[in-house]
Amino acid sequence: MGRTFVDAIIYGPSDTRRYSFFVDTGAAPMGLTIEEIEALGLPMVPDGQTRFLTATGVVELDTYSITGWVIVDRPTGNGFTAMVAPAPIPLIDYERLQNMRLRVNPVSEQVEDVPDDEVNYPPYFL
């Protein structure tokens, strides 16, 4: 499977911005650069230090509360609230998409709706 991106609008106390998020099937939280986290004015999660297991080992990162809207062509809502951690690029975790009944089509590499009659929910790895 190739690289898939999904656009989302992030609402912060200081600003609202649109990003192209890389769909990361291995990410636990969402990710944004620290500069964008600060520009949006995102609030730190209480006791915001969280441990994550990464490819390079366990790291402790500050985490922040994020609210947004995934932009896909559909009539129902795509809103979410999540935890975000500093990352080198905007990342969205696959679980976030699954919770909105979205999946990545491995042929088109696009995000699409999961049909209402599909019973294999989750996971959506095709």
pLDDT tens-digit readout, 60-95:
999 999 999 888 776 566 888 999 999 999 999 888
* Residue 81 parent element (H or E): strand 79-86
* Residue 102 parent element (H or E): strand 102-105
Is residue 119 domain-resident?
A: no
For residue 1, the model assigns a pLDDT of: 55
For residue 9, the model assigns a pLDDT of: 93
* 36 secondary structure, DSSP code: H
For residue 120, the model assigns a pLDDT of: 54
Q: Which domain range does residue 56 map to?
A: 5-113
Query: Which amino acid makes up residue 96?
Result: R
More confident residue, 36 or 4: 36
Is residue 40 domain-resident?
A: yes
Is residue 88 domain-resident?
A: yes
Is residue 118 domain-resident?
A: no
Domain count, the chain: 1
| CA-closest candidate to residue 2, choices 31, 22, 20 | 22
Length of the chain: 126
